[in-house]
Structure 1
């Protein structure tokens, strides 16, 4: 009888520990995002900040991030097209990243 009780207690503890995964609360509405500043003091609109976020999070997965001023706008265009395909980014995401890069040139 004790072994049956201990088996059920262990099983209940195991199931309880597996089912209590914590998750971050999800906001019902997106809060207003104030403009942010880059390291060089350039104020970013929420749209440009989203492009910066996409650039930082998607591009840094595979390689180091380059400063936008390292290349000209003409040099960035084929780089962004090629890397956007590799990262499986949609048109909206690519436009956001492109706008961010161009705003920093």
Structure 2
């Protein structure tokens, strides 16, 4: 009797382990195109780097979409002096912020 139960248990285990496995589908081209659309130009990447490195020294970074373009203007003007960024660097940061809105 024990051998029949043991044989049945082994048979059940073998059958359950042999179940067909489902394959994972490769990512769709639409996902790849979305990633390419979000790549930054060298100028925007420089602006992002300046934003992350200059602004994060004093406070947490805000997502660019948190404020409108009109609300960002006085914030960026005020922070330019504190971050000691010249007009060229500030234009790069501003362009990055605007590109993310």
- Identify whether the pair has TM-score above 0.5, normalized to the shorter chain: yes
**Displacement of 1:43 after TM fit?**
1.5
Task: Say which structure, 1 or 2, has more relative contact order (CA 8 Å, 6+ apart).
Answer: 2
Q: Which residue in 1 is equivalent to 2:77?
A: 81
Larger Rg: 2
* Equivalent residues, number: 66
Structure 1's consecutive aligned runs of 4 or more residues displaced over 6 angstroms after TM superposition are none
**Displacement of 1:98 after TM fit?**
0.1
Q: Which residue in 1 is equivalent to 2:47?
A: 51
Compute the TM-score of the two structures, normalised by the length of structure 2.
0.63
**Displacement of 1:80 after TM fit?**
0.2
Establish whether residue 61 from structure 1 lines up as the match of residue 57 from structure 2: yes
Compute the TM-score of the two structures, normalised by the length of structure 1.
0.61
Bigger proportion of residues as helix: 2
Q: Which residue in 1 is equivalent to 2:67?
A: 71
Establish whether residue 102 from structure 1 lines up as the match of residue 98 from structure 2: yes
**Displacement of 1:102 after TM fit?**
0.2
Aligned-partner Cα distance in 1 for 2:71–2:43: 23
Q: Structure 1, unaligned stretches of length 5 or more? A: 1-38
RMSD: 1.3
